[in-house]
Each structure stands twice: as C-alpha cells, then as structure tokens.
Chains A and B, each alone.
Chain A
Amino acid sequence: MKYQSFLIKYAEIGIKGKNRHIFEEALVRQIKHALKPCEGSFAVHRTYGRVFVECLSEYDYSEVTEALSRVFGISGICPIVETPVIPIEELRTAAANFMKEEYPSETSTFKVHARRLNKEYPLDSMKVNEELGEAVLEACPNLTVDVHKPEIMLHVEIREKIYIYSTIIPGPGGLPVGVGGKAMLLLSGGIDSPVAGYMIAKRGVKLDAVYFNAPPYTSERALQKVVDLASQVAAYTGPIWLHNINFTEIQLYIYEKCPHDELTIIMRRFMMRIAERLAKESECLGLITGESIGQVASQTLTALGVTNEVCTLPVFRPLIGFDKEEIVKVSKKIGTFETSILPYEDCCTIFVAKHPVTKPRLDVIKRHEKNLDEKIDEMVERAIATDEIMIVGSDGARIVKTRDGVLEV
C-alpha cells in the first residue's frame, strides 16, 4: 500500500503544558534531521496537537520508518492513507478498500475506532463506527468484529481531512534531543558508556563526548572503535562532538607516584576533572558515565563516591542499577554491541592492578594524590591541549580541531 503520510504520536510531550510548543518544535526539527539522508522529499508539520510527515515524492517505506523509529520523543509512527472530507458512502468504500489491501487473506478480528474532530461532519463517531464496520465486514470475509480485544484497530480520524490507519510502529519514546540541554559523556570502547549516552539522550539531552586514549598503549584502531560507537549513538542523538584526549603522560605519572592498587581510582578522578573542564567550556550541564554499582572495583559505592568528589557538575549514571545482561540487551538493541566487543585495549585496562582497592578512603587517596603535586597541573593542562575534536554523525566523522590547531567549525 502507498501511504501518503505518517502520523507521529508522542506520549510525553503532550503533557508539557505551556512549554508544549518548545517540545513540538524540537520534535519537528529532529524528525527533519532524521529524514535528511532518506530518499525522497518530505514536509513535516504540526497541526492541532499532531505531527505529520507528509511524503511529497516516492520514498522507501522501510528506510523512512527506520529513520523515524530512532527519533526520541516519538512513541508511535502510523502510516496513513488520506482522503478529503467525503460523504459516508464514499468513506465506506475507502475504509473497505484500505482493509482489503492491508489484510487481503489472513483471518483476523477488527474494530473501527473513529474520531470526529471536525464537528461539521454529519455523522457522529458512533455512527461512523457502525457504518464503516458494516462496510468492512461486507468487503472482507476473512475479518470478523471483536469490540473487546480486536487484533486490528482501524483508526479513522475526521479532521480537515480524513486519516485512515491501522498500524502503529513503536517509536523509542523519550523526549526530543536538545530540549534537555547538553551533557558530556565519558565514552570508552566498552559496552556500557554508549548505552549510558543513549539513555540520557533519550531524555532529550544533547551529547558531547570525551575519550581518553593512551598511545602507545592504545592503538589507532581503539580510537576508530570509539568513533564508530559515537557514530552509532549519533544515529539516535544527532551529531556528537567527540573530544579525544591524550592521557598517557598522566597515567604513567600516577603509575610512578601512587600505589598500584589505587591507580584506577586516581586515574578516574583525573579523567573526571578533565571531562568537567571540557564540559564547562562547552556549556554542558553534567557528566554522563556508564558506571553501575559493583560492576568492577572502581564502581563500588565507596569508589563512586571518591570519584564523584572531584566534580561540581552533577554526574549522571543511568545504568547505576542495571545488571550487565540488561546493559548488553540495550546495546544490542541500539546496535553498539558488536563494535563494543572488538578486542582493542582501552586506557582503563592497561595498568589495572591484580587487586585494585574496592573500598578506597577519600583521605588516603587525597594524600597519595599529593605525590603528584609537582607536575600534575601542567600535565593536565598539556592533556587538555591535546584535545582533538571531531564531529561524529551517523554518516561519519570530520575533524574540526587537530592536536595542533583549529581547522574549521
């Protein structure tokens, strides 16, 4: 069947009171962005609390629905057939034809759900239900009516036009990206951090990301892996600014000066410090990590507390109560899993101690960090100066700042 347009359902935006237009505008913007790479031309508009994607040319149905099902804020996508406001006799034929084409042979139950928002239409919705139900029964011998638990719900909305649909493709839910401000994701090559980014973005937050690499201990391929992950997340969130920080010097210095079982925790404190600096410079309102309680030594409650202590911005940990399996499930759903399990070492694992502390004490950690006083500040500055920035979209990455200077923005 050829659908002329898609009706976009959004659950949560509808309840945002006076801010509603902000959310709707953001949703329209995100939908337009998502449709950009799709073949064909489309118009996206909102009318009477509905968003419509109107297809102005030939298009690829599965390409468009897949693109739309990645837009946060959408709860359902309904491919619809439109007619002008027509008398009930003609509408009977239209509804019957629609059902005949959609469900040509399978035995099934249905119900008509009509809404008459255009009060000038002579029949009320009850009457329309009856008329159309009868028409469909006559036209489709394979269908029977079940008003309680129908398998097929035939929606007919009578507005300035008449919209007919029976399929609702689920969207990802959430809120349109951008309405919730921006936050800085600490992105590694693992399974968790891309999922964490996805989950926060789903609440309408735009993402920036920072990756710490440690050449020669980590390779160019490890960086490429992170870029690929960012690109996969960007399919949902739109382009992500990815900061690539050279962390080697700091890591080796900590290795030299601090107890080895505290290496990871102290390293993470410096990563958080640097991430926060970058976040503040780029107007991010918080940090995002993929931590979940007790997953590894540095993610016990005590360790999280010690890491958290260096930040003034809020740190969002959307996976905090998730088991690994639950995280894996989401990562498979959003398509980052296969990339995450590629075997390139990232900088958290290179010097990891056999038995890292699980209950670090803040005062002890702070005392040992004093061993770094001589050089650490300049090293942090140098690390921040290594910042290489690329804009990573779902279609690839482009570098806007190299380690040596600004290219273009």
Chain B
Amino acid sequence: MREAYLDNSATTRCFPEVVELMNKIYLEEYGNPSSMHHKGVEAEKHITEAKKRLAQILKVNERNLIFTSCGTESDNIAIIGGALANMRRGRHLVTSMIEHPAVTESMRYLESQGFEVTYLPVDEYGIVSPDLVEEAVRDDTILVSIMHTNNEIGAVEPIREIAKRINAKNPSALFHVDAVQGFGKAQIYPKKWGVDLLSVSGHKIHAPKGTGFLYIADKIKVKNLIFGGGQQGGMRSGTENVAGIAAMGLAAQMLYQDFDKSMDRLYALRESFLDSLEDIPDLRVNGPKGKKCAPHIISLTVPGVRAEVLLHALEEKGVYVSAGSACASNKPHTSATLEAIRLPRAYLDNTIRISLSEMTTEEDMQQASEALHEVIPFLRKYTRH
C-alpha cells in the first residue's frame, strides 16, 4: 500500500543527502572535534560549516549558536538557565497557555523553586495578544517565552511585535522563542527582531533525532545546566554530535533554498486539500486562516468521530496523522492548546493533526483526502452511546 506520511510535526524523514553526509562522517570523518590531530580538525570543520549555514539563515553571528540534543533541551537551557542567571533582578516570568510541554514544564519547575509565572490566554485562533504581553511584563520580569508556531494548530505568533512591546516595557527582560515548529517553515531573524533566545530542533527539518540548537544573543546571561569538559564555551559540555550537527546545517540550508517557492507550494497544497474536504459535512479547521497559519499544520475537528479511531482508520489506508489530543477511555488527557482556543469540550477528542513537510506531495494530500472521505462517513455511523 502507498504510504502518505502526514505526521511531519511529530518528526520528519531525513533528506537522503543528509544521511549521505552523516554516513561519511560516521565512517570516515569520525574524529572528536576537540582532538588536536587531523581527525579532530576535520570533525571541527563540519561543526563550523553547520554553524555558518545556520547563522546565515537566521542572520546572526556564528558565535551565538550552541548545539544541543533536541528542542526540549534548548528550551530548558533557555528558560531555566536564563532564569537562574538573572534571578537577582527578579523572579517573574511570562509565557502563554499554548506552549509545548518543554516550555510549560520548565516553567512549572521554576514555580516550584519560588519563581512566579504568568500564563497568558490566546484568542480563538491561538494568537497571543502583544497587548496582553505588554500588560503582563513587570519591572521584576526576567524572561518571556512565546512560541513562534504552535505545534497543534499552526498559529504563528506576532513575535516581532511582542519583542518590541517587551523591550518598551522592560528592556532587561529576556525574550525566548520556541521555534521548533517555525524554523524551516518561516523566515526568522532573532537578532533583527530583538529575540534573545531561540530554540530549534533538528528532526523537524529532515535531520536526525537527537539534534537541536539554541541561539543566545550577545551579552545575555544564561547559566549552563550541563557540566563537563567545557565544550561550546562551557555552555553545553559534552562531545559534539558532529554528524547530527552537520546534518542539521545541511538540512536547514536545503530547506531555505528557494524558500518562498516551497512555502507557496505548501500553502497551495494546504488550501487545495482543505477545499477538497468541503463536501464532508460538519468539519472544523482550527487555527488562523490563510498566511497567519503555518503552511504545514492542519488541525481538523471531525465531530462524532474519536480522533484515535480516525487515526487508526486512516492508518489502514496508509495515511499517518496524529491525534490532536491523545485521549483514551480510562485516562482523559486533553490538549492545553485546544482548550485554550476554547474548542467546545465535546470536540477535544475529535481533533486530528495533519502535518506536511518539504517532502509532502500532491498525491499524499489526495490520498489523505480520499481516505477521509471514505472513513468519516463510515465511522460516523457507529458512535458510542
């Protein structure tokens, strides 16, 4: 059966060129970048090259990037490390109600350590209001963390505007942006915008799992959380994942080539897919409309059909998606994002996420559309009483 992998916000397939590069590094240029000999120099070059590529994309200086093991680690260093290094100026943080657990749970940890956190609501499309951010920032606010693109509904936050407002109200408050879903799908310029910390993950952009990086602006104080041999200027000890880092650099470079064209393509795929679903009654697309939404995330509520069942039914047709909120009979677990956009309670368990990538084709979307047309009427016939 033909497979249509549409769970790219969970993870992506590596670009073949990326795997080829990693293969070469693993088998031939496998040195430790800290070694003095040729093998070490060779490995270090891969890191330098990756840094250069990523820095160019973000229009920042190479020295402002550190490599981590994933988006979650980047978020943790930024928020916990940022708070610890600046706690003498205050103990207040601001974030939104739709952040990824890597952010929310870091905030919860800080709360347990005596910090105070303000969680901002969002509108029905999942957008954080810059006004509310400005209102929430106080003299003792040390860090604000707002995501670039929401992972469940694709809402793209007004990061530039928020940065301005924070700066106007309290210039010493740090601004962290979780760009795990945004990087590779949007032009992001932290330095130009006034973002101090920016988290990115490798496996969402066709590089392997276990890779990520964090942008740290100049003159920003962040406390390191990992102790050891002092690699990466002491910010993140541990031998660098050379192949993973090189892979991330190459994958990013590939994604940002012909960037506008590929974004147009994704938006077109998204729109024609949504058009094709119009004849299915009572569907609901969550998140903002048009370009205010990320091109690659489609949050679809199908009233009367449990998301998990729909997911498995689509799976039987070769279509892989994810459930907007993992929910099981004896363990209700609802999505904070869907609740925050005030999706009616009854629909929380009826929402799937379809997510695209550079590799997604028109055939994939067609297959998904056909599968939905087949499966939804069938599943709606049999509902729980």
Q: A: which residues have CB within 8 A of B?
A: 215-219, 252, 255-256, 260, 341, 343-345, 349-354
Contacts and interface: CB of A to CB of B under 8 A. Distances in A.
B113 interface: no
B131 interface: no
A368 to B, nearest CB: 16
Interface stretch (B94-102, B197-205, B325-333): B325-333
A351 B382 contact: yes
Given A216-B313, A216-B316, A343 B384 contact: no
A343 B385 contact: no
A224 B309 CA distance: 17
A345 B384 CA distance: 13
Interface string B102-128: 000000000000000000000000000
Nearest to B331: A343
B315 interface: yes
Closest 7 CB pairs between A and B? A216-B312, A343-B331, A343-B328, A216-B313, A345-B329, A260-B385, A349-B329
Given A351-B384, A353-B385, A354-B385, A345 B313 contact: no
A340 to B, nearest CB: 11
Nearest to A215: B312
B308 interface: yes
Interface string B321-345: 0000000111100000000000000
B376 to A, nearest CB: 12
Given A217-B312, A341-B330, A343-B331, 12 more contacts: A215-B316, A216-B309, A216-B311, A216-B314, A216-B316, A252-B382, A344-B328, A345-B329, A350-B309, A351-B382, A351-B385, A354-B385
Q: Pick the most buried of A255, A341, A345, A353: most chain B CB atoms within 10 A of its CB.
A: A345
B382 A255 contact: yes
Contacts of B385: 260, 351, 353-354
Contacts of B311: 216
At the interface, is chain A mostly helix, strand, loop or mixed?
A: loop
A153 to B, nearest CB: 48
Contacts of B382: 252, 255-256, 351
A216 B330 contact: no
Contact of B309 (A217, A255, A341, A349): A217
B328 A345 contact: yes
Contacts of A343: 328-331
Contacts of A353: 385
B309 to A, nearest CB: 5
Contacts of B310: 216
Nearest to B314: A216
Contacts of A354: 385
A200 to B, nearest CB: 26
Contacts of A341: 330
A330 B313 CA distance: 36
Contacts of A345: 308, 328-329
B371 to A, nearest CB: 11
27 contacts: A215-B312, A215-B316, A216-B309, A216-B310, A216-B314, A216-B315, A216-B316, A217-B309, A217-B312, A219-B312, A255-B382, A256-B381, A260-B385, A341-B330, A343-B328, A343-B329, A343-B331, A344-B328, A345-B308, A345-B328, A345-B329, A349-B329, A350-B309, A351-B382, A351-B384, A351-B385, A354-B385
Interface string B358-385: 0000000000000000000000011011
A263 to B, nearest CB: 9
Contacts of A255: 382
Interface string B293-328: 000000000000000111111111000000000001
A219 B310 CA distance: 11
Contacts of A352: 384
A362 B308 CA distance: 35
A344 B311 CA distance: 14
Contacts of B331: 343
Interface in B201-217: none
B316 to A, nearest CB: 6
Given A345-B328, A349-B329, A219 B308 contact: yes
Nearest to A219: B312
Contacts of B381: 256
B164 to A, nearest CB: 44
A217 to B, nearest CB: 5
A255 B382 CA distance: 7
Nearest to A351: B384
A106 to B, nearest CB: 43
Contacts of A215: 312, 316
Q: Pick the most buried of B316, B330, B381: most chain A CB atoms within 10 A of its CB.
A: B330
A255 B328 CA distance: 21
A43 to B, nearest CB: 48
B315 to A, nearest CB: 7
Contacts of B329: 343, 345, 349
Contacts of A344: 328
Contacts of A260: 385
Given A216-B315, A343-B329, A343-B330, A350 B308 contact: no
A341 B312 CA distance: 21
A260 B313 CA distance: 23
A218 to B, nearest CB: 8
Nearest to A349: B329
A343 B330 CA distance: 6
A119 B315 CA distance: 75
Contact of A350 (B314, B316, B330, B384): B384
